[in-house]
Amino acid sequence: MVLDGGTHLISDFAGLGNGWHDSNAWLAALTSQAFPAWFYAGDTLGSFNSWMRLITGTLFGLGCVWLAYPYLEEAMRESRNELETKLRRAGVIA
């Protein structure tokens, strides 16, 4: 997310015209324009920008889950232990 947002910020506000993300001329030159013109321009579905947004968003989501899951698991384990202790005291479970 930082990479995607940071490059868009630099592209849009660094005095580089409409920004290199808008036309992706750098990508067209890099790939010798191997893809149709619509792939390089804008952010319509199927364009380079839409694919990069999908990939970076997916990686960000997976990273958040990977980072947060151990903490959630530990919190749930503590809650379960506390609940089992209370239920034992109440005589509900053996």
In this predicted model, what pLDDT tens digit does every residue of 19-63 receive, in sequence order? 666 678 878 888 999 999 888 887 788 888 889 889 988 998 999
* Owner of token pair 């506000």: 13
pLDDT of residue 21: 64
Res 16 pLDDT > 60: no
pLDDT of residue 14: 62
Residue 72 CB neighbours (<10 A):
10
User: Which band of pLDDT confidence, cut at 50, 70 and 90, is reported for residue 15?
Assistant: low
How far apart (Å, rounded) are the C-alpha atoms in residues 60 and 54? 10
